[in-house]
Protein backbone atom coordinates (compact mmCIF):
# COMPACT_ATOMS: atom_id res chain seq x y z
CA UNK A 1 0.00 0.00 0.00
CA UNK A 2 1.47 3.40 -1.01
CA UNK A 3 2.36 5.83 1.74
CA UNK A 4 0.96 9.32 1.36
CA UNK A 5 2.99 12.31 2.50
CA UNK A 6 0.75 14.14 4.96
CA UNK A 7 3.47 14.12 7.58
CA UNK A 8 2.86 17.76 8.53
CA UNK A 9 -0.15 16.64 10.52
CA UNK A 10 2.34 15.32 13.04
CA UNK A 11 3.80 18.08 15.23
CA UNK A 12 7.29 19.34 14.33
CA UNK A 13 10.12 17.50 16.09
CA UNK A 14 10.88 20.62 18.12
CA UNK A 15 7.24 21.37 18.98
CA UNK A 16 7.03 24.10 21.62
CA UNK A 17 3.34 23.91 22.57
CA UNK A 18 3.78 22.41 26.06
CA UNK A 19 6.25 24.32 28.27
CA UNK A 20 6.75 21.49 30.78
CA UNK A 21 7.48 19.00 28.00
CA UNK A 22 9.89 21.40 26.30
CA UNK A 23 11.73 21.85 29.61
CA UNK A 24 11.88 18.07 30.06
CA UNK A 25 13.17 17.71 26.48
CA UNK A 26 15.93 20.21 27.18
CA UNK A 27 16.98 18.24 30.26
CA UNK A 28 16.94 15.04 28.22
CA UNK A 29 19.04 16.61 25.46
CA UNK A 30 21.70 17.26 28.12
CA UNK A 31 21.36 13.88 29.81
CA UNK A 32 20.91 11.77 26.66
CA UNK A 33 22.42 13.67 23.74
CA UNK A 34 22.25 10.62 21.47
CA UNK A 35 18.49 10.26 21.87
CA UNK A 36 15.93 11.60 19.40
CA UNK A 37 14.42 13.90 22.09
CA UNK A 38 11.56 15.30 20.00
CA UNK A 39 7.88 14.91 19.19
CA UNK A 40 7.67 11.30 17.98
CA UNK A 41 5.96 11.02 14.58
CA UNK A 42 3.28 8.45 13.86
CA UNK A 43 4.44 5.16 12.35
CA UNK A 44 2.63 3.46 9.49
CA UNK A 45 0.56 4.26 6.52
CA UNK A 46 -1.90 7.15 6.25
CA UNK A 47 -4.21 4.96 4.22
CA UNK A 48 -4.36 2.35 7.00
CA UNK A 49 -7.61 0.83 8.20
CA UNK A 50 -6.42 0.53 11.81
CA UNK A 51 -5.12 3.35 13.99
CA UNK A 52 -3.57 2.43 17.35
CA UNK A 53 -3.42 5.25 19.90
CA UNK A 54 -0.95 4.91 22.78
CA UNK A 55 -0.27 7.24 25.67
CA UNK A 56 3.07 8.98 25.14
CA UNK A 57 6.65 8.05 24.19
CA UNK A 58 8.71 6.31 26.85
CA UNK A 59 11.86 8.16 27.91
CA UNK A 60 14.28 5.40 26.91
CA UNK A 61 12.05 3.91 24.22
CA UNK A 62 10.25 5.98 21.60
CA UNK A 63 11.90 9.17 22.85
CA UNK A 64 15.23 7.54 22.08
CA UNK A 65 14.33 5.76 18.85
CA UNK A 66 11.81 8.21 17.29
CA UNK A 67 9.27 5.46 16.54
CA UNK A 68 6.20 4.84 18.74
CA UNK A 69 6.57 1.94 21.19
CA UNK A 70 10.02 1.13 19.77
CA UNK A 71 12.48 0.21 22.50
CA UNK A 72 9.69 0.46 25.08
CA UNK A 73 8.74 -2.61 27.09
CA UNK A 74 5.15 -2.09 25.89
CA UNK A 75 6.37 -2.37 22.31
CA UNK A 76 7.55 -5.95 22.79
CA UNK A 77 3.96 -7.09 23.32
CA UNK A 78 2.40 -4.69 20.84
CA UNK A 79 4.71 -5.53 17.93
CA UNK A 80 4.59 -9.28 18.69
CA UNK A 81 0.81 -9.11 18.58
CA UNK A 82 0.78 -7.16 15.33
CA UNK A 83 3.02 -9.82 13.81
CA UNK A 84 0.83 -12.64 15.13
CA UNK A 85 -2.27 -11.09 13.54
CA UNK A 86 -0.59 -10.45 10.21
CA UNK A 87 -0.54 -6.69 10.70
CA UNK A 88 3.19 -6.31 10.08
CA UNK A 89 5.89 -7.56 7.75
CA UNK A 90 9.45 -8.14 8.91
CA UNK A 91 10.88 -8.60 12.38
CA UNK A 92 10.57 -6.05 15.15
CA UNK A 93 14.02 -5.46 16.60
CA UNK A 94 13.42 -2.40 18.81
CA UNK A 95 15.06 -0.07 16.31
CA UNK A 96 13.61 2.14 13.58
CA UNK A 97 16.17 0.52 11.25
CA UNK A 98 14.74 -2.96 11.73
CA UNK A 99 12.85 -2.78 8.43
CA UNK A 100 9.51 -3.51 10.06
CA UNK A 101 6.55 -2.44 7.91
CA UNK A 102 3.03 -2.19 9.30
CA UNK A 103 0.19 -3.54 7.17
CA UNK A 104 -2.80 -1.22 6.97
CA UNK A 105 -1.98 -0.03 10.48
CA UNK A 106 -0.73 3.22 11.94
CA UNK A 107 0.53 3.79 15.49
CA UNK A 108 0.50 7.12 17.25
CA UNK A 109 0.31 8.56 20.76
CA UNK A 110 -2.22 10.82 22.50
CA UNK A 111 0.76 12.95 23.56
CA UNK A 112 3.67 13.03 21.13
CA UNK A 113 6.47 14.19 23.48
CA UNK A 114 7.83 12.24 26.42
CA UNK A 115 6.37 13.45 29.74
CA UNK A 116 8.12 13.36 33.13
CA UNK A 117 7.34 10.12 35.02
CA UNK A 118 5.49 8.93 31.93
CA UNK A 119 2.48 11.01 33.02
CA UNK A 120 1.18 13.78 30.78
CA UNK A 121 -1.00 16.34 32.53
CA UNK A 122 -4.50 17.25 31.32
CA UNK A 123 -3.40 20.44 29.62
CA UNK A 124 -0.75 18.57 27.60
CA UNK A 125 -3.24 15.91 26.51
CA UNK A 126 -5.60 18.67 25.40
CA UNK A 127 -2.88 20.68 23.65
CA UNK A 128 -1.70 17.67 21.66
CA UNK A 129 -5.22 16.55 20.74
CA UNK A 130 -5.62 18.59 17.52
CA UNK A 131 -2.91 16.43 15.92
CA UNK A 132 -4.98 13.34 16.68
CA UNK A 133 -8.19 14.99 15.49
CA UNK A 134 -6.57 15.95 12.22
CA UNK A 135 -4.97 12.57 11.84
CA UNK A 136 -8.28 10.74 12.21
CA UNK A 137 -9.92 13.09 9.71
CA UNK A 138 -7.10 12.46 7.18
CA UNK A 139 -7.23 8.67 7.43
CA UNK A 140 -9.85 8.08 4.79
CA UNK A 141 -9.76 4.25 4.95
CA UNK A 142 -10.08 4.08 8.73
CA UNK A 143 -12.23 1.21 10.01
CA UNK A 144 -10.97 0.75 13.58
CA UNK A 145 -9.25 2.79 16.27
CA UNK A 146 -7.64 0.87 19.13
CA UNK A 147 -7.18 2.98 22.26
CA UNK A 148 -4.52 1.65 24.59
CA UNK A 149 -5.56 2.75 28.06
CA UNK A 150 -7.99 5.26 29.47
CA UNK A 151 -6.06 8.41 28.53
CA UNK A 152 -5.86 7.39 24.87
CA UNK A 153 -9.52 6.45 24.98
CA UNK A 154 -10.66 9.72 26.53
CA UNK A 155 -8.51 11.85 24.26
CA UNK A 156 -9.87 9.99 21.23
CA UNK A 157 -13.45 10.50 22.46
CA UNK A 158 -12.76 14.21 22.86
CA UNK A 159 -11.20 14.33 19.38
CA UNK A 160 -14.39 12.77 18.00
CA UNK A 161 -16.68 14.90 20.21
CA UNK A 162 -18.19 11.82 21.85
CA UNK A 163 -19.32 12.10 25.48
CA UNK A 164 -17.56 9.80 27.95
CA UNK A 165 -20.89 8.51 29.25
CA UNK A 166 -21.77 7.33 25.74
CA UNK A 167 -18.60 5.24 25.38
CA UNK A 168 -17.12 4.39 28.79
CA UNK A 169 -13.61 2.94 28.81
CA UNK A 170 -13.83 -0.83 29.23
CA UNK A 171 -11.18 -3.36 28.31
CA UNK A 172 -12.42 -5.36 25.32
CA UNK A 173 -15.21 -2.93 24.44
CA UNK A 174 -16.16 -1.99 20.91
CA UNK A 175 -17.92 1.37 20.58
CA UNK A 176 -19.82 2.52 17.53
CA UNK A 177 -18.97 6.02 16.33
CA UNK A 178 -22.13 7.73 15.06
CA UNK A 179 -21.85 8.59 11.37
CA UNK A 180 -18.34 7.16 10.99
CA UNK A 181 -17.05 4.18 9.03
CA UNK A 182 -14.88 3.11 11.97
CA UNK A 183 -15.42 1.75 15.48
CA UNK A 184 -13.43 2.32 18.68
CA UNK A 185 -11.87 -0.62 20.49
CA UNK A 186 -10.52 -0.41 24.04
CA UNK A 187 -7.69 -2.29 25.67
CA UNK A 188 -5.79 -1.83 28.86
CA UNK A 189 -2.44 -0.32 27.96
CA UNK A 190 0.19 -2.99 27.21
CA UNK A 191 2.58 -1.40 29.74
CA UNK A 192 5.07 -3.32 31.83
CA UNK A 193 3.03 -2.46 34.95
CA UNK A 194 -0.22 -3.84 33.50
CA UNK A 195 1.37 -7.02 32.22
CA UNK A 196 3.42 -7.61 35.40
CA UNK A 197 0.32 -7.21 37.57
CA UNK A 198 -1.65 -9.34 35.08
CA UNK A 199 -4.26 -6.64 34.71
CA UNK A 200 -3.51 -7.34 31.04
CA UNK A 201 -2.46 -10.81 29.92
CA UNK A 202 -1.31 -11.87 26.46
CA UNK A 203 -4.60 -13.75 25.78
CA UNK A 204 -6.60 -10.67 26.85
CA UNK A 205 -4.61 -8.48 24.47
CA UNK A 206 -4.86 -10.99 21.65
CA UNK A 207 -8.64 -11.23 22.13
CA UNK A 208 -8.87 -7.50 21.40
CA UNK A 209 -6.87 -7.93 18.20
CA UNK A 210 -8.99 -10.93 17.24
CA UNK A 211 -12.10 -8.74 17.56
CA UNK A 212 -10.47 -6.00 15.47
CA UNK A 213 -9.36 -8.45 12.79
CA UNK A 214 -12.81 -9.96 12.75
CA UNK A 215 -14.27 -6.55 12.14
CA UNK A 216 -11.66 -5.67 9.48
CA UNK A 217 -11.79 -9.15 7.96
CA UNK A 218 -7.99 -9.18 8.04
Q: Considering only CA atoms, which of 214, 8, 12 is closest in space to residue 112?
A: 12
Residue with smaller CB distance to ligand URA, 55 or 136? 55
Question: Of 178, 174, 184, which is closest to residue 142 (Cα–Cα)?
Answer: 184
Q: How far is the CB of 89 from ligand URA (least distance, A)?
A: 20
Residue 65 CB contacts under 8 Å (≥ 6 apart), including other chains: 36, 71, 94, 95, 96
* Least spacing, CB of residue 167 vs ligand URA, in Å: 20
- Could you tell me the smallest distance in angstroms from the CB atom of residue 42 to ligand URA? 10
Distance of closest approach, residue 179 Cβ to ligand URA, in angstroms: 28
- With beta carbons less than 8 A apart as the criterion, state whether 161 and 133 touch: no
Return the number of the residue (38 or 58) whose C-beta is nearest ligand URA.
58
- 68's CB contacts (< 8 A; 6+ apart) are 40, 42, 43, 54, 57, 62, 75, 107, 108, 109
CA dihedral 132, 133, 134, 137 (to 10 degrees): 120
User: In the complex with ligand URA, which residue's Cβ is closer, 127 or 163?
Assistant: 127
Q: Which residue is nearest to ligand URA (CB)?
A: 54
CB closer to ligand URA, 144 vs 147: 147
- State the residues that interact with ligand URA by CB under 6 A: 54-58, 61-62, 68-69, 72, 74, 109
Question: CA 193, 49, 214, 200: dihedral to nearest 10 degrees?
Answer: 0
Residues in the chain: 218
State which residue, 151 or 162, has the beta carbon closest to ligand URA: 151
Please state the closest distance from residue 78 (CB atom) to ligand URA, in A.
8
Amino acid sequence: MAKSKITEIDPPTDCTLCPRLVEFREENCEAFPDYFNGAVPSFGSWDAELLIVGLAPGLHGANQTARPFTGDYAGDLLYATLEKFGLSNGKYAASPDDGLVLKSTMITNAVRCVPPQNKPIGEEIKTCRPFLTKQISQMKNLRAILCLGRIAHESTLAALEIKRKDAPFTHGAKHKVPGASYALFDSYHCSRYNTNTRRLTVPMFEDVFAAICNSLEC
